[in-house]
Chains A and B, each alone.
Chain A
Amino acid sequence: MKVNISQKKIRDSFVQKVQELSGQNLLVCYQCGKCSAGCPAVSEMDILPNQVIRFAQLGLKEELLNCRAIWACASCLTCNVRCPKGIKIAEVMEAIRQILLRQRLDHVDINKIPPEKRKEFPAIALISNFRKFTS
């Protein structure tokens, strides 16, 4: 994969936004990869959790806002509790999702779930899904 990095991207407000929303200092990460090693969702991810952090450091906004990884994360927090630097990776994932959701760019559309399927789900599944994936 070809990636262009530039000072302009690194200093973009996107990086600040991710840090502010997540409450995390992205530069603390030293890329050990422990988050990705323990993540149960990596098989569904195009960018691995440690790469999400690296991309965010570099301000690779388009790549992050269009990736599958942020939606594959189920906030199980395995990465958070194992990070030797104390970075809350799940919070960074949430911050990137929120940047999209706060523009009403929903990931899930309830109308696309057939009514007979909707009935099968317990309330806990629907509420948590919509809380995470809709604005």
Chain B
Amino acid sequence: MKIAYYPGCTLKAHGKNFEESALCTLKELGFEVIELPRWNCCGTVFSLTADDVIHHVAPLRNLIRAKDAGFNSVVTLCAMCYNTLKRSKARYEENPDIRDKINRFMDEEKINFNGSFKILHYLELIRDEVKLENLAFKIVKPLKGLKVASYYGCLLVRPREIGFDDMENPTIMDKLVDTLQADSVDFPYKTECCGAYQTVDKPQVVILRAAQILKSARERGAEIVEVSCPLCFFNLDYRQKEIQQIEADFKPIPVLYFTQLIAIALGCPENSLRFDLHEVDPRPILKQKGLI
């Protein structure tokens, strides 16, 4: 099955561990992944002001190009891309004035975007198309004995009409962990914001927030925290060296993309996991469990 793939900016640089592990798993699952031939940044955040139309143009352009290339859906990995693409499409569809205005501004695009197009997060693809029970059959290396806390963050679950799971108590990532035969660890901070882009101008706030989230996961017994957003990854992984500077007894905990866990279970080569991009090295705990 062919799928169109929208990577977004970070997956091509800091998030290579996310992209390479995901591409390997998709291949193992029998998908032919076609990266959109020409894509641009989605803008990362959805504009919340009612009169701001121009910022919906960039995300919608990607969808128009995908449609023009013959696709009716596009798969994303990044939670922020997913949210921005999906919300811009919803804004376009629900408001005729905005729709007309945007259509008028699309002077380079060959087709009018009528909206009938699906934005799928990789997790939805696994849950709804592949199905977890079929994923289970493909596992060559069960993640037995590994305790994983799933951190959902904000943009996979909020707002309600955009998220693809319960906004207060999502479970899709935990079910994935169980399918991979690891032990899912529930923890109260799983949908609590990590501080997101505040990391640039107010890092001290994000450091405290990340510490709270990670300590909560650790207290519940997690050995690893899995994420689906490159900004969450940066805040939770990279900021740990600063947490250690302010809290001497803080015990680092490796942060992985959920795709890296699937990749291990499906037998993807270690070079597709790109552990060189991690601040907190996950290899010791994975070696201890006999997974790499």
Contact = CB atoms under 8 A, between A and B. Distances in A.
Interface of A: 20-23, 40-41, 44, 72, 74-78, 80-81, 88, 90-91, 94-95, 98, 107-108, 113, 120-129, 131-133
The number of chain B residues touching the other chain, given as a range, is 35 or more
Given A74-B195, A75-B45, A124 B201 contact: no
Contact of A121 (B44, B51, B199): B199
Contacts of B238: 120
Between B9, B43, B197, the greatest number of chain A beta carbons within 10 A of the residue's beta carbon is seen for B197
B158 interface: yes
A135 to B, nearest CB: 12
Interface string B244-255: 000000000000
Contacts of B49: 21-23, 91, 94-95, 98
A117 B211 CA distance: 20
A122 B9 CA distance: 9
Contacts of B160: 81
Contacts of B159: 77, 80-81
B41 to A, nearest CB: 7
Contact of A40 (B44, B78, B192): B192
In the A-B complex, the 3 residue pairs with the closest CB atoms: A76-B193, A122-B14, A23-B50
A106 B9 CA distance: 24
B9 A127 contact: yes
Contacts of A125: 197, 199-200, 231, 234
Contact of A21 (B9, B45, B50, B191): B50
A41 B205 CA distance: 9
B43 A131 contact: yes
Contacts, number: 122
Given A77-B154, A80-B159, A129-B200, A122 B13 contact: yes
Between A44, A90, A108, A127, the greatest number of chain B beta carbons within 10 A of the residue's beta carbon is seen for A127
Contacts of A126: 200
A44 B202 CA distance: 10
B142 interface: no
Contact of B200 (A21, A75, A121): A121
A76 B44 contact: no
A131 B45 contact: yes
A78 B193 contact: yes
Interface string B197-241: 111111001000100000000000000000000110010001000
Contacts of A44: 202, 205
A31 B15 CA distance: 42
19 contacts: A22-B48, A40-B193, A75-B45, A80-B159, A81-B167, A94-B47, A94-B48, A98-B49, A108-B200, A113-B200, A122-B13, A122-B14, A122-B234, A123-B10, A124-B234, A127-B9, A131-B44, A131-B45, A131-B55
Contacts of A40: 192-193, 195, 209
A94 B51 CA distance: 12
A123 B14 contact: yes
Nearest to A102: B49
A122 to B, nearest CB: 4
A123 B180 CA distance: 31
Contact of B201 (A94, A123, A129, A131): A129
Given A72-B202, A74-B196, A81-B158, 14 more contacts: A41-B193, A74-B198, A75-B48, A77-B154, A80-B159, A90-B48, A94-B48, A95-B48, A123-B10, A124-B8, A124-B9, A124-B231, A128-B80, A132-B45
Interface in B6-61: 8-10, 13-15, 41, 43-45, 47-52, 55
Given A78-B193, A129-B200, A123 B13 contact: yes
B215 to A, nearest CB: 15
A129 B197 contact: yes
